[in-house]
Amino acid sequence: MGWLQKLKQGLSKSSQKVADSLKSLTSLSSLMGASKLDASSIEEVEDALIGADLGTKSAARLAEAMRKHKFDGPVTSDSLAAALADAIAEILRPVATPLVLDSAHRPHVLLLVGVNGSGKTTTAGKLAQQWHQQGKSVMLAAGDTFRAAAIEQLQIWGERTGTKVIAGDQGGDAAALAYTALEKAQKEQADILIIDTAGRLQNRTELMDELAKIVRVIRKLDQSAPHDSVIVLDGTVGQNALSQVKAFQQAADVSGLIVTKLDGSAKGGVVVALAEEFGLPVHAVGVGEGADDLQPFDAQEFANALTGVADRQD
């Protein structure tokens, strides 16, 4: 199965929400043969988008775009979905930014943060495999010292990809481990160091303080590090992702997002809400367990899949 098919399938629950609303909307007698949406229809479009987790701000902006849109002929669920996809892509395009290594920094330090279970360790392994396949020298730091399973999981990815993993004892000081890993990465002139960190709830102050400590400690070796501080978000949590980004921004100077577990999520629209709220780069989205199931974020592809337009373009 190709990437577009996986993305479409992964977002099918989210797109079904939108598609069902558009179908019921365009079957209303008030819209029969109409070439534009009336006020009540605009309101229903807005409600449908909020229901699909696009957030109130994005929903209002998109509903306004639909009000102004000039349809060629009568409004149908297909033409409405296509117009909506283009309007969503317009919101997403400015944030669709691939994760690119900066050759001015060697190693390029990537810090992965997020709450428990968001997919950080798996994401670290997938990125390591992708960069390794591109001929880059990659080093992984097992900074989730709370869970033995996380260390083991990262070591398995390391063995699979031929990537060196710097790990310590379970329960050890994560900041000290990150420092040691950066020292080794600098000495061996690795292209990139990926630092995995323990999942932490955004309302646990002491854990967020520890994350800030990791950042302070690695800056003793490289004042510009981390060069990317990326929050990994679970695509099934919906609007809660917004409060996660706010909290981690304060502790770790978050510079970008990766959204995982979109396969099976009915809340994929939150990516649009995140783009509208923060304007932070969305580097990649994940729709499965394999390394190839994490791909650079493409605004139009995502918008088409979210609205079901891709179904009519295959």
- Give the pLDDT confidence score for residue 314 in this predicted structure: 42
Distance, CA of 293 to CA of 83 (rounded, Å): 28
Per-residue pLDDT of the chain (314 residues; tens, 9 = 90+): 677 788 888 888 888 877 777 776 666 544 555 667 778 888 888 888 888 888 999 999 999 999 888 888 888 888 888 999 999 999 999 999 999 998 889 999 999 999 988 999 999 999 999 999 999 999 999 999 888 888 999 999 999 888 999 999 888 999 999 999 999 999 999 999 999 998 877 567 777 888 989 999 999 999 999 999 999 999 999 899 999 999 898 888 899 999 999 887 778 899 999 999 999 999 999 988 888 889 999 999 999 999 988 554 44
pTM of the model: 0.92
- Give the pLDDT confidence score for residue 136 in this predicted structure: 95
Q: Where are the domains of the chain?
A: 3-95, 108-297
85, 309 contact by CB (below 8 A): yes
Phi/psi-derived region of residue 234, left when phi > 0, alpha when psi is between -120 and 50, beta in every other case: beta
CATH tag, 108-297 = 3.40.50.300
Distance, CA of 131 to CA of 238 (rounded, Å): 30
- Give the pLDDT confidence score for residue 195 in this predicted structure: 97
Is 3-95 a domain of CATH 1.20.120.140? yes
- Give the pLDDT confidence score for residue 29 in this predicted structure: 42
Give pLDDT tens digits for 110-143.
Answer: 999 999 889 999 999 999 999 999 999 999 999 9
Distance, CA of 31 to CA of 37 (rounded, Å): 7
Helix/strand/coil (H/E/C) assignment for every residue in the chain: CCHHHHHHHHCHHHHHHHHHHHHHHHCCHHHCCCCCCCHHHHHHHHHHHHHCCCCHHHHHHHHHHHHHCCCCCCCCHHHHHHHHHHHHHHHHHHHECCCCCCCCCCCEEEEEECCCCCCHHHHHHHHHHHHHHCCCCEEEEEECCCCHHHHHHHHHHHHHHCCEEECCCCCCCHHHHHHHHHHHHHHCCCCEEEEEECCCCCCCHHHHHHHHHHHHHHCCCCCCCCCEEEEEEECCCCCHHHHHHHHHHHHHCCCEEEEECCCCCCCCCHHHHHHHHHCCCEEEEECCCCHHHEEECCHHHHHHHHHCHHHHCC
- Which amino acid type is present at position 255? S
10, 261 contact by CB (below 8 A): no
- Give the pLDDT confidence score for residue 313 in this predicted structure: 46
